[in-house]
Amino acid sequence: MDFTLDKKHEMARSLFREFAENEVKPLAQETDETEQFPAETVKKMAKYGFMGIPVPKEYGGQGCDPLTYVMCVEELSKVCATTGVVVSAHTSLCIDPIMTYGTEEQKQKYVRPLATGEKLGAFALTEPGAGTDAQGAQTKAVLDGDEWVLNGSKCFITNGKVADVYIVIAITSITEDKRGRKKKNFSAFIVEKGAPGFSFGTKEKKMGIRGSSTYELIFEDCRIPKDALLGPEGKGFPIAMHTLDGGRIGIASQALGIAEGALERAIAYTKERKQFGRSIAQQQNTQFKLADMATRIEAAQMLVYKAAMAKANQKVYSVEAAKAKLFAAETAMAVTTEVVQLFGGYGYIREYDVERMMRDAKITEIYEGTSEVQRMVISGALLK
Amino acid sequence: MNIVVCIKQVPDTKGGVKFNPDGTLDRAAMLAIMNPDDKAGLEAALRIKDETGAKVTVLTMGLPKADAVLREAMAMGADDAILVTDRVLGGADTWATSTTIAGALRNLDYDLIITGRQAIDGDTAQVGPQIAEHLGLPVISYAADIKVDGDSVIVKRQYEDRYHELKAKMPCLVTALSELNQPRYMTPGGIFDACDKEVTVWGRADLKDVDDSDLGLKGSPTKIAKASDKVAKGAGEKVNLDPAESVAYLIGKFKEKHII
């Protein structure tokens, strides 16, 4: 077992790092303050192929692997978690299910413009009454002639208003089992912005990742073509769960990046900050904290990269993804909290990045499956 | 149209220069990067490629690890890469370097050769013009803009306080300034392709029409007595006066500092 990266991945990392430092970092503070979606950055990322990294070249992508994509989200999130999640939701939650379950026509029609970044993608499962209990969703789709008619609403949708293509999960039938219990059968759909009856509700005001566009989606007799069905009818729930397995690797990378970014700043700051006549980095309390954080971050990185490699090798990777997301998210929260503490009063001031990082870190323990959901997935596999 | 861009792997001097105890550069302690002027030259070539479909070849002379800058250039969009490396070529000064590169270029079909103005490690600005001299080509140095116009290039040549616009018929050689443009980033897919591609490796035997006495340390007339980091100059003082007042002001300053 060799833990060193090969030349391709080393070069890719240096590219993402350089891009993040030059193009993303200078805007991170402003993106957070103004809650503006970083549209110009997304355009630049599209130009350099960042919006379709693991997508085969024949569909307009870069032909790289999940590990390269993970490193991109990681490096972007080191300096701006908003930018990281834009790429993650677009790639893992929209392109990936179309690549996995789409027909050739759907791949040609949707994946190409998504992978080149001409269009942006989103994924809609969560509803006001259905978070962790995704089966509680109420949005329905009924076939009417050559069209599906969608009714319902989705909430907390990342890339909400700025996306062009949405994967929407809706109930297409309700069946009864032998005992008379009702069972919802979900299906997945590809919905384009501008579909009649599709509109946006309120923009969410969030604690962190404030530049990311988080909206409610509303479907009122929204009519989409019959061939907008993604995968087999009635298979929407497994499609959503499989999509989230991939998405969790993306969010785990985002969390990893946030933790790494915070540690980098802590190293620089504690070397400069003087108290009691010497830098605080010379105090053992600081040194031990830095050591613990670095160790924990490296462990998180190993889990995240392992999950990415499991996805690359086409194995089932639900458990690897859940472990990576659980550990990386909790690492991000713990590390950013500790780094704010090391910064003292300055850490609490918005002028310093670490305050933003601590707010950004929290969401990684919540979205794309809370830490509790990850524990359910992991223990479920243990007790099977 | 064929463009050859000569690039060099140099130590990144951004964080200051590090020296060995014997006064030579401690290259191992510094990151290796593509020389900034060369990178701008490569970007200029890639822009010509975007417009005209020209083929861009990158060439470097150096240690086997200089392969890294060739891969970077291919990941940015260069089509082919050639590494000239051989133990007998080591220790070359600008004369031996330009002789070597010219010997490699004689094997290639080129319309335009682009080099950087100078490398940030040696700062001589001699290799580009010397290559042109060896090959009998016209040279335009300090290019701040390069345009292809039919079978010629039109180059904005930078002076301290002005530009000269020069036109030269190809084949010719142009040396590029880092101010020429903002080089593009690599792409992830470009990196994967670049790592899978072959880099052509040439040694002494592949150099055309060169004499052994002009190569490597033996063929280098330059002897380095001492190397040092750049000495930072003060910001200076800028005054805006009419010519007569300026002279009086300067004379006053010279007297004040006992220069006259």
Domain presence at residue B233? no
Instruction: Give the domain extent around A208.
Output: 123-234
Identify whether residues A86 and A163 lie together within a single domain. Answer: no
Same domain, A153 and A272: no
Nearest-angstrom CA–CA distance, A216 and A220: 13
Cα dist. A158→A130, A211, A230, A360, B181 in Å? 16, 10, 20, 14, 36
In a domain, B250, yes or no: no
Q: How far does the CA of residue A49 sit from the closest CA of chain B (Å)?
A: 6
Classify residue B259: in a domain, yes or no. Answer: no
Residues A44 and A138 in one domain: no
Q: Which of A120, A136, A166 marks a domain boundary?
A: A120
| CATH number for the domain that contains residue A364 | 1.20.140.10
Give the count of domains, chain B: 1
Cα of B42 to nearest chain A Cα, Å: 17
Is the residue at B234 inside a domain? Answer: no
Residues A106 and A11 in one domain: yes
Same domain, A265 and A379: yes
Catalytic residue among A330, A338, A355, A368: A368
Q: Is residue A222 part of a domain?
A: yes
Same-domain status, A298 and A364: yes
Q: Considering the domain boundaries, does residue A2 fall inside one?
A: no
Residues A115 and A158 in one domain: no
Instruction: Give residue B197's identity as a one-letter amino acid code.
Output: K
pLDDT band per the 50, 70, 90 thresholds, residue B224: confident
Same-domain check for residues A168 and A280? no
A244 and A369 belong to one structural domain: yes
Please answer yes or no on whether B191 and A61 come within 8 Å at the CB atom: no
Do β-strands B163-169 and A140-144 pair in parallel, antiparallel, or remain unpaired? unpaired
Q: Give residue B87's domain range.
A: 2-214
CATH of the domain at B91: 3.40.50.620
> Of A234, A251, A284, which closes a domain?
A234
CATH number at residue A147: 2.40.110.10
What pLDDT shows up at residue A331? 98
Residue A113 amino acid letter: P
Residues 6+ apart with CB under 8 A from B180: B40, B41, B43, B44, B143, B144, B145, B146
Q: Is residue B254 part of a domain?
A: no
Enter the tokens of residue A253.
């990378």
B182: chain A residues, CB-CB within 8 Å: none
**pTM of model > 0.95:** no
- Contacts with A48 from chain B: Cβ below 8 Å: 184-188
Q: Which residue of B has its CA nearest to A51?
A: B188
Total domains present in chain A: 3
Q: Across the interface, do B71 and A64 touch by the CB < 8 Å criterion? A: no
Query: Tens-digit pLDDT profile for chain A (384 aa)?
Result: 889 999 999 999 999 999 999 999 999 999 999 999 999 999 999 999 999 999 999 999 999 999 999 999 999 999 999 999 999 999 999 999 999 999 999 999 999 999 999 999 999 999 999 999 888 999 999 999 999 999 999 999 999 999 999 999 999 999 998 898 999 999 999 999 999 999 999 999 999 999 999 999 999 999 999 999 999 999 999 999 999 999 999 999 999 999 999 999 999 999 999 999 999 999 999 999 999 999 999 999 999 999 999 999 977 999 999 999 999 999 999 999 999 999 999 999 999 999 999 999 999 999 999 999 999 999 999 998
Residue B245 covered by a domain: no
Same domain, A114 and A163: no
Instruction: Please indicate, yes or no, if residue A1 is contained in any of the structural domains.
Output: no
Residues of chain B with C-beta less than 8 angstroms from the C-beta of A72: 188
Residue B256 falls within a domain, yes or no?
A: no
**How far apart (Å, rounded) are the C-alpha atoms in residues B148 and B51?**
10
Chain A residues 65-104 with CB within 8 Å of chain B: 68, 72
| Structure ipTM | 0.94
Question: Is A62 in Cβ contact with B189 (below 8 Å)?
Answer: yes
* CA–CA dist A70, A183 (Å, integer): 36
A110 touches chain B (CB under 8 A): no
Decide: A61 and A53 in contact? Cβ < 8 Å: yes
* Residues A138 and A68 occupy one common structural domain: no
Instruction: Name the average pLDDT for chain B.
Output: 92
Cα–Cα–Cα angle for A39, A119, B44, nearest 5°? 70
Q: Which of A199, A216, A234 is the last residue of a domain?
A: A234
In a domain, residue B90? The reply is yes
Q: What is the CATH number of the domain that holds A12?
A: 1.10.540.10
Chain B interface includes A11 (CB < 8 A) = yes
Mutation for A interface: B65, B72, B186, most A CBs within 10 A: B186
B71, B187, B196: best mutation site toward chain A, by most A Cβ within 10 Å?
Answer: B187
Same domain, A310 and A248: yes
CA distance A323 to A308: 12
Q: A359 CA to chain B: closest CA distance, Å?
A: 30
Task: Report the chain A residue with the minimal C-alpha distance to residue B71.
Answer: A11
